[in-house]
Structure 1
Amino acid sequence: MRIMSLNAWGGTMHAQLLSYLGNSAPEVLCLQEIIDSPETDRAWLEYRDKDHVLPQQANLFTEIRRALPHHEAYFCPAAQGDLWDGDRPVPSRWGLATFVHRSSAVIGQALGFVHKGYGADGFGAHPRSRNAHAIRLFDHVGERAVVVSHMQGLRDLGGKGDTPERLEQAKRFLALTRQIAVPGDRVVMCGDFNVEPDSATLRLLAEAGMEELVTGRGFEGTRTSSYAKAGKFADYMLVDDAAAVKSFDVIRSPEVSDHCPLIVEL
């Protein structure tokens, strides 16, 4: 079973992203920063947060779902706020998406918030609402149940250092994962955690028996050349049993986002 985690960057690199996902098509795909704008047919809108301006694919979730016709698709919005079509605000939902190939049976799932609750009246001030999604599926090839959970961690304007809110989000993420895991299940936790490798978040998950693969396998970052800031770690993938990992990679090419895809094969 191949599992991929990727921050899709709102589809800023839309053509490259859709081509890559359509060709790679892992059994489980965990995506962060996904946009869904049901009130418009426009392809592109603009995200504006003071001096932070980005093009966004208005209906990215729908586009990816079309590119993966053999996957079940789950969209998990964290907030609804305005993206912009010129001077016109367009209500748009932002959050996570999970895609599971139909060869696997989804036999459980949990969705919940790890910081605040659903932002119905705008994206809000940082740190914003954050959610997590966990699925339990039966892998008929591997003949066992697997739990895969992912989140996008808090963005803090002060950087990626430890904060009480980040530690609390990690505790909630772990609790949500455990909510559906059954003893004997294989467990994978992943996402854009927005923390450094020496963070309290990763220490907490390590104490819970999870092994982190990015730094554990010697990779020196998870950001692409499109990311110009300092600090090249943001994304992580953890497993409960490293012996079950057939392969793990941080994909540098092709570039489809300012984050690298992480792929584990169990």
Structure 2
Amino acid sequence: MEIMCLNAWGGKLHEPLLPYLKDAAPDILCLQEVVHSPASNKDWLTYRDADHILPQRANFFRDVCSALPDHQATFCPQAQGILWDDDKQIPSQFGIATFVHKALPIIGQIQGFVHKDYAPDGYGDHPRSRNAHGVRVYDELTNRPISVLHMHGLRDLSGKHDTPDRTAQAHRLLALNEQLTDRNGLSVTCGDFNVDPHSKTLQILNAAGFQELVAAYNIPTTRTSHYKKAARFADYMLINDMQAVKTFEVIRGPEVSDHCPLILRL
């Protein structure tokens, strides 16, 4: 089984990203920063926040669904805010999405917020609402259930250091995992956690029996050349049984986001 985790940067690099996803077609794809604007048929809209102006792939969730027609797709919105079509306001949802190949039976599923709650009237102030989504599938090749849970960790404008909100977020993520995973079952947790490698978030998950693979495999960075800031880590993948790992890779090319895809093969 192949599991991919990626912060897709709102589909900003969709031209290389969509063919890459179509070719890779992992059994389970965990995507963060997914835009869904069902009120618009436009390919691109604009995000405006004071002097922060970004192009957004308006229906990125739809784009990935088209690239992976053999996958069951679930979109989990964190908030609904406004994007712009020139001077016209367009309601748009922002969140995470999970894609599971239709050959895999989904025998359990969970969705919940790890920071704040759904924000229906705007994206809100930082740190903004964040959620997690997980599936438990049955792998017929190994005759066992496997849980995969991912989140987009809250962004704090002051940096990726530990905060009380991030500590609370880690405990909520762990509680969701405990509800999703069978007793003694194989469990994978991943995402753009927005924390440093030595964070309390990862320590909490480690104390619960998870081993973090980016550190275990001595990966030098999970960022691409499109990311210009000094911090070189944000994305992590953890597993509760290292013996189940066949391979783990952080993909350097093609560059399909300002984050690198993380790929685990079991």
TM-score w.r.t. length of structure 1: 0.99
Report matched runs for 1:177-256 at 5 Å. Answer: 177-256=177-256
Instruction: Say whether the 8 Å CA contact 1:103–1:140 is kept in structure 2.
Output: no
Structure 2 equivalent of residue 263 of structure 1: 263
Structure 1 equivalent of residue 13 of structure 2: 13
Task: Give the Cα–Cα distance (whole angstroms) in 1 for the partners of residues 253 and 33 of structure 2.
Answer: 20
What secondary structure does 2:215 align onto? coil
The one-letter code matched in structure 2 to 1:261 is: P
Report matched runs for 1:75-94 at 5 Å. Answer: 75-94=75-94
What secondary structure does 1:19 align onto? helix
Structure 2, unmatched stretches of 5+, are none
Instruction: Say whether the 8 Å CA contact 1:3–1:264 is kept in structure 2.
Output: yes
Structure 1 equivalent of residue 150 of structure 2: 150
Structure 2 equivalent of residue 35 of structure 1: 35
RMSD: 0.7
Task: Give the Cα–Cα distance (whole angstroms) in 2 for the partners of residues 102 and 42 of structure 1.
Answer: 29
Task: Give the Cα–Cα distance (whole angstroms) in 2 for the partners of residues 54 and 215 of structure 1.
Answer: 32
Task: Give the Cα–Cα distance (whole angstroms) in 1 for the partners of residues 53 and 13 of structure 2.
Answer: 14
1:126-153 deviation digits (Å, cap 9, x = unpaired): 0000000011110112211000000000
Structure 2 equivalent of residue 126 of structure 1: 126
1:73-98 deviation digits (Å, cap 9, x = unpaired): 00000000001111211100000100
Task: Give the Cα–Cα distance (whole angstroms) in 2 for the partners of residues 17 and 74 of structure 1.
Answer: 19
1:6-63 deviation digits (Å, cap 9, x = unpaired): 0000000011110100000000000000000010001001112223222111011011
Task: Give the Cα–Cα distance (whole angstroms) in 2 for the partners of residues 184 and 56 of structure 1.
Answer: 41
Task: Give the Cα–Cα distance (whole angstroms) in 1 for the partners of residues 95 and 235 of structure 2.
Answer: 16
Task: Give the Cα–Cα distance (whole angstroms) in 1 for the partners of residues 262 and 127 of structure 2.
Answer: 25
Report matched runs for 1:92-171 at 5 Å. Answer: 92-171=92-171
Task: Give the Cα–Cα distance (whole angstroms) in 1 for the partners of residues 185 and 81 of structure 2.
Answer: 37
What secondary structure does 1:89 align onto? strand
What secondary structure does 2:238 align onto? strand
Task: Give the Cα–Cα distance (whole angstroms) in 1 for the partners of residues 259 and 158 of structure 2.
Answer: 20
Q: Does 1:70 align with 2:107?
A: no
1:91-118 deviation digits (Å, cap 9, x = unpaired): 0000010000011100011100001100
Task: Give the Cα–Cα distance (whole angstroms) in 1 for the partners of residues 186 and 51 of structure 2.
Answer: 43
Task: Give the Cα–Cα distance (whole angstroms) in 2 for the partners of residues 227 and 235 of structure 1.
Answer: 13
Q: Would you say how many aligned residue pairs link Structure 1 and Structure 2?
A: 266
The one-letter code matched in structure 1 to 2:177 is: T
% same residue:
57
Task: Give the Cα–Cα distance (whole angstroms) in 2 for the partners of residues 36 and 67 of structure 1.
Answer: 15
Task: Give the Cα–Cα distance (whole angstroms) in 2 for the partners of residues 24 and 166 of structure 1.
Answer: 32
Compute the displacement of 1:243 (Å).
Answer: 1.1
Task: Give the Cα–Cα distance (whole angstroms) in 1 for the partners of residues 51 and 238 of structure 2.
Answer: 34
The one-letter code matched in structure 2 to 1:88 is: K
Structure 1 equivalent of residue 50 of structure 2: 50
Task: Give the Cα–Cα distance (whole angstroms) in 2 for the partners of residues 184 and 209 of structure 1.
Answer: 11
The one-letter code matched in structure 2 to 1:249 is: E
Structure 1, unmatched stretches of 5+, are none
What secondary structure does 2:20 align onto? helix
Instruction: Say whether the 8 Å CA contact 1:36–1:59 is kept in structure 2.
Output: yes
